[in-house]
Each structure stands twice: as structure tokens, then as C-alpha cells.
Structure 1
């Protein structure tokens, strides 16, 4: 099992956000839960989280979001029942995947184009 991390940010014209990535890995496979928290002052109506999976990782299934493509630069888009993120609230999604080589976490999360990554 691997540890998780929290990335914070919020510069630009979109919402301020926190993205928490919590993986659980085993030889050749993993699951990951991602929580997006709106730290801004306005409600997010419809969200897309973008991140890049490390080389060798492939998403095989997801929940609470539509995730595509299966590898590389990936986007996760809300589904009908979790499109809003009020100020101070969060939405979560997750995915299962496979990997080759060593397991690593993605970096550089964005929410609707605004960086949520830590320095």
C-alpha cells in the first residue's frame, strides 16, 4: 500500500481547489480515490479534473466520473449527480488501473483548468 498526498492551489480565473489523491497499490495494479475540494467563494457548476498518469499506468474502470483516455494526459469529468461543488465542499471520484515497473502517483492536478498542484 502506498501513501496519499494533498495538492493545493488556486491561481487564475477559475475556482481555488484542493485535490487529494489516495492510492492503494499491489504488484501490477492499483486503485485511487481523488477528492476535489472547492476552496473558492463561488460554486463550481460542472467540473473536469486533469492530470497525467505516470508512464506504464492504465485506467481500467472508474466511479463517480467519466475518465478518459485510459493513459497519459487524463481527464475526469463529473457525472450528472455530482456536477456541483459549493464553496467549502468536495466531490470524489476514483479509478482502478494497472501498471508496469514501479508504482508512482500523478502530479499536476487541475480543476477546470486551474492548478491544484503543490509547489
Structure 2
């Protein structure tokens, strides 16, 4: 259906654990860094005729006591199940909220969660990612 994975990564473990993992900085932030100081990676782990599995990883420059990551699906996809976060969905907008065990994220760390979802006419990757209401790259 014309979809391609955003990453060549083979994908996440079906139920990954330990999602706040420190990462080494790759260098100085770009001059036009997003306001929230975060970057998002969306990985499509697998897709079948009416569903898919994906993971979202967010690297934050700031330490977090709690987090919410939100995005917009362009093709009406619906999240059925999520791990390492809880979710709500209002139309095409999905919000993932930290689980009790992974609320705190140190500065420079990456938080990751995964989900299963359905799709029908298309499965274009999501856009308009935010972390705690602020735009991410």
C-alpha cells in the first residue's frame, strides 16, 4: 500500500521493558533545535493487511518527572494496545502517558513505548509529535 518503514531497524521486542535508557549525546544540538529539546523516532516494526506494530522513542534534553507524548495519525489509524505507557485517542490524535515505573526520565535519556494499531486505507507515519505539549523534531 505504498508504506515504507521510517527506519531499517528490525523493530522492537513485542513487549520491551526498561524504557528510560540514558543515551550518549551525539554532539552539540543543532542551531534550530525544537523548543522542547526533544527528538522523536517512529519505527514501524511490522504490518499486516489490517494492523501494524510500531514503537516511538523520544530523546529529551531535559529531565522529566512525568511525560505525555502525542501525535497525529494522517490515515485514521486506531491504537488498540500499548505497552510501557497508557493511551487515549481522540479522532486522529493519540496521547501516550507514562506508566508508573517509567515516569522519571533523566536529561539526555530516551523513553520508548510500543503499540499495536489498526489501519484500513493507508498507514502513513504519524506527524505533529509533542512531548508534554511542546513540539518535538
TM-score (norm 1): 0.82
Aligned mate of 1:2, from 1, 4, 9: 4
Higher strand content, 1 or 2:
1
The corresponding residue for 1:67 is 87
Return the alpha-carbon distance in structure 2 between the equivalents of residues 53 and 30 of structure 1: 13
Aligned to 1:101, what secondary structure does the other structure show?
A: coil
The 8 Å contact of residues 63 and 108 in structure 2, kept in 1 or not, is answered as: no
User: Do structure 1's residue 54 and structure 2's residue 80 form an aligned pair?
Assistant: no
Which position in structure 1 is the counterpart of 2:101? 81
Contact 1:37 1:89 in 2 (8 A): yes
Displacement of 1:115: 0.7
Deviation at 1:58, TM superposition (A): 0.8
In the alignment, which of 31, 50, 58 is matched to residue 53 of structure 2? 31
- For the residues of structure 1 that align with 2:63 and 2:34, how far apart are their CA atoms? 14
The 1:9–1:84 alpha-carbon spacing in structure 2 relative to 1, beyond 3 Å, is: farther
Q: Which has the larger radius of gyration?
A: 2
Unaligned runs of 5+ residues in structure 1 are: none
Aligned residues: 110
TM-score (norm 2): 0.72
